[in-house]
A and B are shown apart, each in its own frame.
Chain A
Amino acid sequence: MTNDDHTTPGASMGTQNDNVNQKFRPQTPRGYAELCSVLGQQATTLHKDIQMKLSANTSNVMQQIANQNNVTDRQTNTSFTPAVTLYFTKVCTLLGLRPMSLPKFAFSTGTLASVVLFSFLFLPQLQTNDNVPVPALPFLSSPTLLEVVITTSEEDLLVIEDLDLYETLLNEPL
């Protein structure tokens, strides 16, 4: 029997499907009886990885049963998942959290990190007062003068409020 025999009869009726399509046409059991046979056979064709997990699963159960019955000559099987991880997984499941794939996790973490960085680094920049005109404070623009004002006595500070003296101070070398 060839591959074509398993495909739809229409394919052999001269339809214009090319060879590539013909080659990869999904092939399913031709009738109900064959489907039942295939399903009956499927338990033996499970992936080896799954079969190993199932055996380990059963061994763990049998170990527990043996312990309860004080049968001690059974080999201890190492579990695939540590107890702490299992407990953590159960708690997460109860909270509605599910384990996610690495790309999904990376995408979610990346998005969250971007939002946080945007909020803390970029948004404050937008709120700066750079564009607001600041009234001119000449003594602030001159660090030396500012220093003089600060270090002089309280009287000097009062004097500086006098505009005439202020002009004089500006024009005269310190």
Chain B
Amino acid sequence: MTKSEIHKLESFFLANQQKAFLFCQYRGLSEQDSLDIIQDTMLQFYKHYSHKAESDWAPLFFTVLRHKLIDKQRWLSLQNKLFFWQKTGNDDTSDSHNIELAESLFAAHAELNKSEWTDNECKNTEYAVAHAQGYKKLINTIQMLPEKQQSVFLLKTINEFSEQHIAEVLGVSVGTVKQHYARAKKQLQHYLGEQDD
């Protein structure tokens, strides 16, 4: 691999690392596990797919990432069964990481509405914490979605992937992607509707 190719690869990784991190976080992984999985994914991607066309990199990268996430979640599930006295995944740690995720979601919401929200609403820490608690429920709803629906939803919203690219990542047809997306959307709309009631 030449120096310029390595530079291109680095730019690709830097452009996708935050999205990959969010993808892992919404799947309920801890910060350290997310970082480890992203690192493994990058190395595996370099080893097997870096010679492919640059336009195919993003779907391939997220395909590897998704497979690694599924493996990790299977391992965590097995670990929970073997070491049943040590609960992993649904304890205080995951709760606190959801709060961090909620805070960044609030920051994104404030960023989008900064022209309309007051400074107090955007910067007041108490205000942010109170709102982050509200976002936590929304994050839990996304985390409760079935794996495929969740993947489709996250790839479409966070990565802004086309349905064709999502179909490549999941290894299914475009029709199936549409179906999963419609179901995820319905559930989230139902949740948001309940909030409005």
Q: Which residues of A contact B (CB under 8 A)?
A: 1-3, 6, 8-10, 23-32, 34-47, 50-51, 53-55, 57-58, 60-62, 64-66, 69, 71, 73, 96-98, 101
Closest 4 pairs (CB-CB, A-B): A26-B134, A96-B83, A24-B130, A45-B107
Closest chain A residue to B154, Cβ basis: A39
Which one of B51-59, B112-120, B143-151, B162-170 is at the A interface? B112-120
A-B CB contact pairs (8 Å), 24 listed: A6-B113, A27-B109, A30-B192, A32-B188, A32-B189, A35-B157, A36-B157, A38-B105, A38-B112, A39-B105, A40-B158, A40-B160, A42-B104, A42-B105, A43-B22, A45-B107, A54-B38, A55-B17, A61-B43, A61-B46, A62-B13, A64-B43, A71-B6, A98-B86
Taking a contact as CB atoms closer than 8 A, the residue among B1, B13, B83, B109 that contacts A29 in the complex is B109
In the assembled complex, the CB of A51 is this many whole angstroms from the nearest CB of chain B, namely 7
B68 at the A/B interface (Cβ < 8 Å)?
A: no
B131 at the A/B interface (Cβ < 8 Å)?
A: yes
B35 at the A/B interface (Cβ < 8 Å)?
A: yes
Q: Give the tally of cross-chain contacts (CB within 8 A).
A: 143
Residues of A within 8 A of B10 (CB): 58, 62
Q: Which range contains the number of B residues in contact with the other chain?
A: 35 or more
Query: In the bound complex, how far is the Cα of B6 from the Cα of A3, in angstroms?
Result: 48
Residues of B within 8 A of A27 (CB): 109, 131, 134
Q: Which residues of B contact A (CB under 8 A)?
A: 1, 3, 6, 9-10, 13-14, 17-19, 21-22, 31, 35, 38-39, 42-43, 46, 79, 82-83, 86, 88, 92, 100, 103-105, 107-109, 111-113, 116-118, 121, 126-127, 130-131, 133-135, 137-138, 154, 156-158, 160, 185, 188-189, 192, 195-197
Does B130 lie within 8 Å of A46, measured CB to CB?
no
Query: In the bound complex, how far is the Cα of B192 from the Cα of A98, in angstroms?
Result: 36
Closest chain A residue to B43, Cβ basis: A61
Does A28 lie within 8 Å of B195, measured CB to CB?
yes
Does A41 lie within 8 Å of B197, measured CB to CB?
no
Closest chain A residue to B33, Cβ basis: A93
Does A58 lie within 8 Å of B17, measured CB to CB?
yes
Query: In the bound complex, how far is the Cα of B131 from the Cα of A56, in angstroms?
Result: 31
Residues of B within 8 A of A47 (CB): 100, 103-104
Query: In the bound complex, how far is the Cα of B13 from the Cα of A37, in angstroms?
Result: 23
Taking a contact as CB atoms closer than 8 A, the residue among B103, B121, B131, B160 that contacts A26 in the complex is B131
Residues of B within 8 A of A58 (CB): 10, 13-14, 17, 42
Q: A10-B197, A61-B43, A98-B86 are in contact. Are A41 and B1 (CB under 8 A)?
A: no
Residues of A within 8 A of B88 (CB): 98
Does B35 lie within 8 Å of A54, measured CB to CB?
yes
Residues of B within 8 A of A65 (CB): 1, 6, 9, 43, 46
Does B35 lie within 8 Å of A35, measured CB to CB?
no
Closest chain B residue to A24, Cβ basis: B130
Query: In the bound complex, how far is the Cα of B44 from the Cα of A65, in angstroms?
Result: 11
